[in-house]
Amino acid sequence: MAPPVAELLCPSTGVHCSDLGFASALGPEYSPPVGEEDDQDLSAAKTTDRVNVEDDPVDYEITCPGQNFTVAQEEEISLNWIERWCDLCMKFSDSCDAIRRQGGQNAPTPPGPLKVLPETTYSCITRGYCYHREYMTNDNSQTKSVLGFQMPQQMMQVFSLRLSSYKSKSYPIGIYGIFAIRDDLEPLRNYVFNRSRDNPVMIHQDSLALPLCSPCRGMYVLDRALLEVDLWVKREGDGSTDEQLLSVYVEIDSGSNLDEMFTGRIHSEDCTLDMDYMFLAEGVEAVIQVFTVVGSPDLVRFIASSSCFDKEIVIFEGKCVEKGWSSWGIKFS
C-alpha cells in the first residue's frame, strides 16, 4: 500500500486560507531554531547569524532577492500563488475523494502537493522577517557536520526522490544540481542530492529515482524546514543550452504528523518531483564507516530496509578509494 499523505496536505472544501498555510508562506513569524536557548546538547557552537535581523535593513536589501520586486509585482505574484496553491489543493482533495469512493477508506492516497513558496512576499517588500531571511537563502554554505544533539530529538528523514513526470518524455536524461534541507538547528544547506554538471545522474523511463547522498548531519525539524531545489537537465555543449528542470523553495511543516510516512509532490511547469519522507518524534543520528578488506571494488551499493517503508533505501552508491578505511561515511536518522 502506498504511504499516506500528511493531514496538512488534505484540504477539504471550505477550508480557510490560513489553514492552507498562506500566512506562513506570505509572512512567516520568527521562531528561534533548535538549541538557540538551550545549547547544552550541542557539540559545536550555535550560529548567531539570525540575531537582530530587523535592525539591519541595509544588509537585508542585499541578502533578500524578494526585495528587488515592486509592490505591484509582489501583489500579482502573491495572488497568482494563492490561486495556484488553492487549485492544487482542491485537485488533490477531489482525487482523494474519488479514490475513497472506489476503494474504501484504506485505498492508497496520491502524493499531496508540497508548498512551493512564491518568489517574493509582502514581508520581503516591507523588509520584514521573510522566508529568505529566516532560512538565510543568500548563504550557499553547507551546514556544519559537527552540530547535533546527544539525546533523541524530533528529526526528518528523506527516503527517496523520484521524477514522476517530465514534459519532454524523452529518456534517458542527465540530471545535475542540488536538493538540500535547511532546518531549525542551522538554516544552511544539508544536501540529500548533490551532483555537478560533470557528474550527472542518468534517469531512464523505467528508473526515475534520484540517488540520495549522505547528509552531512541529521535534520532537526521542530516546526518547519525549507527544501531548496535546483535541478538541471544536461545538454550537449558548454552548458549554455542546459534546461532548468526545477528551481524552487519549498516550506514543509512537521505539525503533529510524527512517525508516519508521507509522500509529497513538488509541481512545476516542466516536471513533478515526488519525495518520500518522515518526521521522527525521537530520532538519533547514526554514522556508519565502511572499510574494504581485500581490495577496492569498482562499485559499492548499500541498501537499507524499514518496516514503515516498502521500497529499498539506497544509503550509499559509489566507489571506494583504496583498501582500508573508506573516505566516506553514511549518515541517517
SS (H, E, C) 148-162: CCCCCEEEEEEEEEE
271-328 confidence digits (pLDDT tens): 999 999 999 999 988 877 777 676 666 777 777 777 766 777 776 666 665 555 444 4
pLDDT at 168: 78
By mean pLDDT, which of 54-58, 120-124, 175-179 is the weakest? 54-58
Question: If you ran DSSP here, which 8-state letter would residue 187 be given?
Answer: -
Sign of the CA dihedral with 242 first, then 245, 81, and 141 last: negative
pLDDT at 182: 97
By mean pLDDT, which of 41-55, 68-82, 177-191 is the weakest? 41-55
Question: Which of 59-73, 183-197, 251-265 has the largest mean confidence?
Answer: 183-197
- Model confidence, pTM: 0.77
Share of the chain above pLDDT 90, in %: 44
pLDDT interval class at 249 (50, 70, 90): very high
Instruction: Name residue 331's beta-bridge partners.
Output: 287
Q: Count CB-CB contacts under 10 A for residue 170.
A: 9
Average of per-residue pLDDT values in the chain: 78
By mean pLDDT, which of 24-38, 100-114, 210-224 is the weakest? 24-38
pLDDT interval class at 100 (50, 70, 90): confident
pLDDT over threshold 70, residue 45: no
83-93 confidence digits (pLDDT tens): 999 999 999 99
pLDDT over threshold 80, residue 209: yes
DSSP reduced 3-state for 188: coil
pLDDT at 10: 37
The residue ranges of every structural domain in the chain are 7-284, 285-333
pLDDT at 247: 95
Nearest Cα residue to 258 out of 162, 153, 180, 150? 153
pLDDT interval class at 214 (50, 70, 90): confident
pLDDT over threshold 90, residue 72: yes
pLDDT at 121: 94
Buried b (16+ CB within 10 A) or exposed e, 307-321: eebeeebebbeeebe
18-36 confidence digits (pLDDT tens): 344 444 444 433 344 444 4
pLDDT at 321: 58
From the number of C-beta atoms within 10 Å of its C-beta (0-12, 13-18, 19+), residue 94 rates as exposed
pLDDT at 301: 76
pLDDT over threshold 50, residue 104: yes
By mean pLDDT, which of 2-6, 101-105, 270-274 is the weakest? 2-6
Which residues, other chains included, contact 202 with Cβ-Cβ below 8 Å and sequence gap of 6+?
Answer: 172, 173, 174
Helix residue ranges per DSSP H, the chain: 22-26, 57-63, 71-103, 122-125, 131-134
pLDDT interval class at 74 (50, 70, 90): very high
pLDDT at 308: 67
C-alpha cell at 313: 533505501
Share of the chain above pLDDT 70, in %: 72
pLDDT interval class at 107 (50, 70, 90): confident
pLDDT at 295: 65
